[in-house]
Amino acid sequence: MSKRFNLREFQQEVLDKLQAQAASGKQITTLGVQIGAENWLIDMGDIGEVLPPPALTPVPLTQGWFCGVANVRGNLCSVVDLAAFMQLPPTPLEARNRVLLLSSRFGFNTGLLVSQVLGLRDTQTWQFHTNSDRAFYQDETGGVWHKLDIQLLINQPEFLQINA
């Protein structure tokens, strides 16, 4: 029961923040998440829902980053450990983990397992940097934030090839 209450609190907090920003005319559309030990930004429009990791059914003969499938309100969803897919150490299962269900506009019933959700982030005042291999933001405290392009992720042949 406490998990449900905490999830409701979290959802209410996010809703309150969104309403306050809408009232001020300033809208934040980026969600901060932690993948492995790295901070990442994801456009809210790319996410259909954020939920605690559901019960997973393993699928034999699949890649190590493929966690399995889950029944989410009657819909079968694949779940991918995003850290392991990015060739980082696999995400240890903890209470703070979340699964980000992709927006239905992508046509995939897929969830991305992340270490934790860090909340909404306003990048308008952050510095944007590019180097030879990556673009990233730097926040006011010097923290580095990478941008996750979901469309680019799901178009990678490796992402679509789950069999080992």
pLDDT band at 42 (very low <50, low <70, confident <90, very high): very high
Is 2:8 a contact under the CB 8 Å cutoff? Answer: no
- The residue assigned the tokens 């409701």 is 8
* Distance separating alpha carbons of residues 162 and 80, to the nearest angstrom: 9
Please report the pLDDT score of residue 2 as a whole number: 46
Is 112:99 a contact under the CB 8 Å cutoff? Answer: yes
* Distance separating alpha carbons of residues 85 and 63, to the nearest angstrom: 9
Beta bridge partners of 66: 80
Identity of residue 42: I
* Distance separating alpha carbons of residues 79 and 113, to the nearest angstrom: 7
pLDDT band at 52 (very low <50, low <70, confident <90, very high): very high
Quick: pLDDT tens for 60-92.
999 999 999 999 999 999 999 999 999 999 999
Give φ, ψ of 13 to 5 degrees.
-65, -45
Closest CA to 36 of 76, 86, 96, 73: 86
Q: Which residue has the higher pLDDT, 145 or 6?
A: 145
Domain ranges of the chain: 30-160
Please report the pLDDT score of residue 125 as a whole number: 87
DSSP 8-state symbol, 62: B
CATH for 30-160 is 2.40.50.180
